[in-house]
């Protein structure tokens, strides 16, 4: 991995701003040791991502079949595989408590022939795998310790000035700098969306009985409550509550929280023991009106944020990265400007429909289930039960959730670019 000289202004092919999961993946897709024609890439972040490996981040991600193929192509999955848990079965219920949760929809059950094709991985293992791959990539320079202070997206080259005065220029800037993206704001790109007045609480815990690789999604009046399997007798939760209810839970002592979580889960996993401090995140849905500006492409949360009820947030960002990498690689092969308007418009067109459709479906499901309307409850229960009896429809949903429909970029098919 290259070392940045503090006294020089350096030009790269691509600069990625944001060294979290999507940003590191974007750097690898374009400049990694597995890329067919690796570009020179700088990945900038005020924080060193290596420090996050020692943090108490309890978040985990569901990795779809197509995202797994992408990580394999980038040389990341070999580091992740020892730490992943196959999600062998998924059940969906519409219940108000652990004693009133009949299974309405089920994927991956024995004898069905409908594999879920998903894996659960804790985010710190993904981060370590990505950083290991970055360190093997001589064309990638990791620049940390200083935020971007100024930016200029001119038609010629984009220029970034860091808080310590260092200057960098490139043909293409990739904004992977999160939902509040300073680069998106600097480019004047507006958002469409809203807050849900809900929070998602994430935590991990040990339990006495095995989970059998089963993931559970319980739609309660307060919001979805997901129990997701991790390796060993461990699981993680994404517990959606209204903002006031979430703050109350987060204000409890560890023992009090553990008791409430045990009551919510029920007894089928046996006695639980909380691992680390629960964390809460405000929930919202938005997407950028444009996914690009002059010399700038948005990926991940900088471009869109959706409700976490289906666990598709990270996978949606990976689709962005895969599509952008293919657009850039195709332009490079044709001798075109990799940050030119034609390349960025192709990327935006490719990703906009999929993003808006996914966001709309997650928003609709959240609004349909996050209420206590008895009439809607009857209708949705009938709908879920009917779907559960139609293998063809279930297969369609399973393929969509696995990211195996539509026009897949080459990386999501397991091919390098």
Q: What is the pTM of this model?
A: 0.89
Give 313-347 as a 3 state SS string: HHHHHHHHHHHHHHHHHHHHHCCCCCCCHHHHHHH
Mutual angle of helices 374-388 and 341-369, in 10-degree steps: 110
Q: Would you state the structure tokens that stand for residue 272, as one six-digit string?
A: 């639980």
Please report which confidence band the pLDDT of residue 2 belongs to, taking 50, 70 and 90 as the band edges. Answer: very low
The pLDDT, as a whole number, for residue 158 is 96
Q: For residue 161, is pLDDT > 80?
A: yes
Among the four given CATH numbers 3.30.540.10, 3.40.50.720, 3.50.50.60, 3.40.640.10, the one describing domain 10-413:
3.50.50.60
How far the first Cα of the chain sits from its last, in Å, is 20
Give the span between the Cα atoms of 330 and 340, in whole angstroms. Answer: 12
Q: What is the mean pLDDT of residues 319-331?
A: 98
What HEC string does the chain produce? Answer: CECCCCCCCEEEEEEEECCCHHHHHHHHHHHCCCCCCCCCEEEEECCCHHHHHHCCCCCEEEECHHHHHHHHHCCCHHHHHHHCEEECEEEEECCCCCCCCCEEEEECCCCCCCCCCEEEEEHHHHHHHHHHHHHCCCCEEEEECCCEEEEEECCCCEEEEECCCCEEEEEEEEECCCCCCHHHHHCCCCEEEEEEEEEEEEEEEEECCCCCCEEEEEEECCEEEEEEEECCCEEEEEEEEEHHHHHHHHCCCHHHHHHHHHHHHCCCCCCEEEEEEEEEEEEEEEEECCCEECCEEECHHHCEECCHHHCCHHHHHHHHHHHHHHHHHHHHHCCCCCCCHHHHHHHHHHHHHHHHHHHHHHHHHHHHHCCCCHHHHHHHHHHHHHHHCCHHHHHHHHHHHCCCCCCCCHHHHCCCC
CA distance 331 to 30: 12
Judge contact between 305 and 296, C-beta under 8 A: no
Long-range CB contact pairs, 219-224, < 8 A, 24+: 219/92, 219/93, 219/94, 219/95, 219/369, 219/370, 219/380, 220/95, 220/96, 221/96, 221/370, 221/371, 221/372, 222/370, 223/198, 223/309, 223/366, 223/369, 223/370, 224/309, 224/366, 224/369, 224/370
- pLDDT over 90 percentage in the chain: 67
CA 300 and chain centroid, separation: 7
Whether residue 139 contacts residue 40, with contact meaning beta carbons closer than 8 Å, is answered with yes
Q: Tell me the pLDDT tens digit for each residue of 246-275.
A: 999 999 999 999 999 999 999 999 999 999
Q: How does residue 397 score in pLDDT terms, banded at 50, 70 and 90?
A: low
How far from 196 is each of 107, 148, 286, 320, CA to CA, in Å? Answer: 28, 30, 11, 24
Average pLDDT over residues 8-36: 95
Inform me whether the pLDDT recorded for 375 exceeds 60.
no
Mean pLDDT of 2-7: 42
Q: What pLDDT, on the 0 to 100 scale, is given for residue 354?
A: 83
Return the pLDDT at 7: 46
- Decide if pLDDT at 113 tops 90: no
Given the structure tokens 């779809």, which residue do they identify?
A: 64
Q: Where are the domains of the chain?
A: 10-413
At residue 295 the predicted structure's pLDDT band, cuts being 50, 70 and 90, is: very high
Question: For residue 6, is pLDDT > 50?
Answer: no
Question: Is the confidence at residue 182, as pLDDT, over 60?
Answer: yes
Q: What is the pLDDT of residue 105?
A: 77
- Mean pLDDT, to the nearest integer, of 176-183? 97
Tokens linked to 112? 């069905």
Where does the pLDDT of residue 402 fall: very low under 50, low under 70, confident under 90, or very high at 90 and above? low
Nearest CA to 307 out of 261, 345, 364, 268 is that of: 364
373 compared with 316, residue with greater pLDDT: 316
Angle 156-351-172 (CA atoms, 0-180°, nearest 5)? 20
Q: How high is the pLDDT of residue 66?
A: 92
| pLDDT tens digits along 215-225 | 998 888 888 89
């Amino acid at each position: 991995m290259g070392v940045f000289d503090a006294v020089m202004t350096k030009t790269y092919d691509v600069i990625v701003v944001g060294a979290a999961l999507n940003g590191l993946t974007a750097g690898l897709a374009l400049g990694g040791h597995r890329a067919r024609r690796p570009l020179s890439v700088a990945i900038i972040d005020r924080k060193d991502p290596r420090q996050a490996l020692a943090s108490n981040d309890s978040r985990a991600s569901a990795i779809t079949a197509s995202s797994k193929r992408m990580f394999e192509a980038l040389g990341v999955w070999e580091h992740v595989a020892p730490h992943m848990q196959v999600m062998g079965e998924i059940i969906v219920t519409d219940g108000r408590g652990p004693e009133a949760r009949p299974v309405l929809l089920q994927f991956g059950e024995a004898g069905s022939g409908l594999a879920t094709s998903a894996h659960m991985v804790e985010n710190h293992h993904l981060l370590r795998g990505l950083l290991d791959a970055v360190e093997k990539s001589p064309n990638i320079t990791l620049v940390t310790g200083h935020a971007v202070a100024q930016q200029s997206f001119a038609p010629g080259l984009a220029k970034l000035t860091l808080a310590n005065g260092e200057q960098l220029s490139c043909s293409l800037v990739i904004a992977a700098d999160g939902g509040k993206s300073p680069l998106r704001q600097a480019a004047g790109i507006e958002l469409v969306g809203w807050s849900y007045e809900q929070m998602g609480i994430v935590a991990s815990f040990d339990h006495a009985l095995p989970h059998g690789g089963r993931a559970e999604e319980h739609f309660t009046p307060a919001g979805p409550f997901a129990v997701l399997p991790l390796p060993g007798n461990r699981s993680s939760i994404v517990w959606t509550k209204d903002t006031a209810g979430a703050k109350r839970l987060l204000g409890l002592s560890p023992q009090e929280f553990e008791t409430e979580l045990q009551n919510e889960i029920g007894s089928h996993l046996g006695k639980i023991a909380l691992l680390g401090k629960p964390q809460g995140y405000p929930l919202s849905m938005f997407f950028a009106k444009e996914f690009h500006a002059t010399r700038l492409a948005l990926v991940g949360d900088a471009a869109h944020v959706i409700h976490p009820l289906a666990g598709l947030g990270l996978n949606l960002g990976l689709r962005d990265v895969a599509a952008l990498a293919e657009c850039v690689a195709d332009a490079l092969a044709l001798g075109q400007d990799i940050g030119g308007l034609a390349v960025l418009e192709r990327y935006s067109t490719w990703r906009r429909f999929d993003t808006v459709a996914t966001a709309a479906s997650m928003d609709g499901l959240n609004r349909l289930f996050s209420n206590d309307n008895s009439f809607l409850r009857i209708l949705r229960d009938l709908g879920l039960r009917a779907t559960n009896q139609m293998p063809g429809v279930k297969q369609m949903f399973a393929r969509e959730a696995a990211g195996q429909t539509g026009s897949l970029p080459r990386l999501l098919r397991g091919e390098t670019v």
